[in-house]
Structure 1
Amino acid sequence: MREIKILTENKKVGFDYDILEKYRAGIILTGQEVKSIKLGRANIKSAFVVLRGEEVFLVGCNVPPYQPNNLNKEYLPERARKLLLHKEEIKELIGKQKQKGLTLKPLLVYTLKGKVKLEFALAKNKKKSDKREKIKKREVNREMRRAFKA
């Protein structure tokens, strides 16, 4: 059995986007970043995945320094971090992202066999009306459950 430990989760993606496909990638990190992420201090809420040529990067992910007192002057908490994917997966992503309205959003940062991994999704932005419908359905279901309990 694989030991997966979720370190950071982006719960808002499921509400704001329709998830079409999920991908898993390794992240190129420094030692200080790995330690900080394993403490659960990474923030991927405003992050997104970008394709530059035939490379894939995680942009906007904030990883605060592991030890702020021993901070390296060149340390950038929001630097672009390269993702490790197979060439076939990258070519597939390039083809799919060319479709209008599709973006790549990070879902999870987790460890698998001691390695830090990122799960991201090919997603389509939801309309406000879809979000409102989902909220209404959730409220109706809550009220029904309360009525059955009473």
Structure 2
Amino acid sequence: MSNEIANNRKARRDFHIGDTYEAGVELKGTEVKSVRAGKVNIADAFARPEGGQIFLYGCHIQPWETAGAFFQHESRRPRRLLLHKKEIEALEHALQAKGSTLPCLRMYWKNGRVKVELGVGKGKSHTDQRHDLKKRVELREAQREVARFNRQ
């Protein structure tokens, strides 16, 4: 069983990621079953502090098919993240800067528990995104040339 549950590749494309934090996720029983089945989408997931706690929004966990209506969970409900008090205060302080956000980078298993990696991000402009793409293309071409040279 792979440790990686879901990965948000759009987050690193759209944001300059600074510090990263690991947080536990408070889940219901049917949510854990859906996560084990890999039915998670974190493409639009982000975290926000509220009342001294951090909540995860936009994380879509599909309802479990065989659960009854009483035990079923909402697919996009806000989920509380489990962090130490000092980490919560540091995140609240980091989000005071204009344009800062807290996107969810990936979701994974660690010691039988679901963890989320959050990154303090600042939005990229379209020119920054184009610059990153150009840098990747140049690096790929240089690697091809080195490989071609080594083959000869």
Matched residue SS, 1:18: strand
Deviations 1:69-127 (A, max 9, x none): 53426631000000011111111111111111110010111111111111111111111
Residue 87 of structure 2 is aligned to residue 89 of structure 1: yes
Q: Which residue among 80, 102, 115 is the counterpart of 2:113?
A: 115
Contact 1:29-1:81 within 8 A present in 2 as well: yes
- One-letter amino acid matched to 1:96: A
**Contact 2:8 / 2:106 at 8 angstroms: preserved in 1?**
yes
Counterpart position of 1:25: 23
**CA distance in structure 1 between the aligned counterparts of 2:123 and 2:89, rounded to whole angstroms:** 22
Distance 1:62 1:33 in 2: 10
**Matching of residue 72 in structure 1 with residue 69 in structure 2:** yes
Q: SS at the partner of 1:29?
A: coil
1:99 corresponds in structure 2 to 97
Q: Which residue of 2 aligns with 1:141?
A: 139
Tell me how far apart the structure 2 counterparts of residues 80 and 130 of structure 1 sit (CA, whole Å). Answer: 31
Identity of aligned residues (%): 37
Alpha-carbon separation, structure 2, partners of 1:33 and 1:104: 22
Is the CA contact 1:10–1:107 (under 8 Å) kept in the aligned structure 2?
yes
Tell me the residue number matched to 1:34: 32
Q: Secondary structure at the match of 2:102?
A: strand
Provide the C-alpha distance between the structure 2 equivalents of 1:120 and 1:52, rounded to a whole number of angstroms.
16
8 Å CA contact 1:4, 1:112 repeated in 2: no
**8 Å Cα contact 1:7/1:39 also seen in 2:** no
Where structure 1 has 5 or more consecutive residues not aligned to the other structure, the ranges are none
Secondary structure at 1:65 match in 2 = coil
**Separation (CA, whole Å) in 2 of partners of 1:145 and 1:112:** 35
- The answer to whether the 8 Å contact 2:28/2:73 transfers is no
Count of matched residue pairs: 147
| Structure 1 counterpart SS, 2:133 | helix
Residues 38-57 of structure 1: matches in 2 within 5 Å? 38-57=36-55
What is the aligned counterpart of 1:131 among 102, 106, 129?
A: 129
Q: Deviations over 1:52-74 (max 9, x none)?
A: 1201100010000122x534266
SS at match of 1:76: coil
Cα displacement (A) at 1:4: 7.5
Q: What value does the CA root-mean-square deviation take over the aligned residues?
A: 1.9
- Which stretches in structure 2 are left out of the alignment for 5+ residues? none
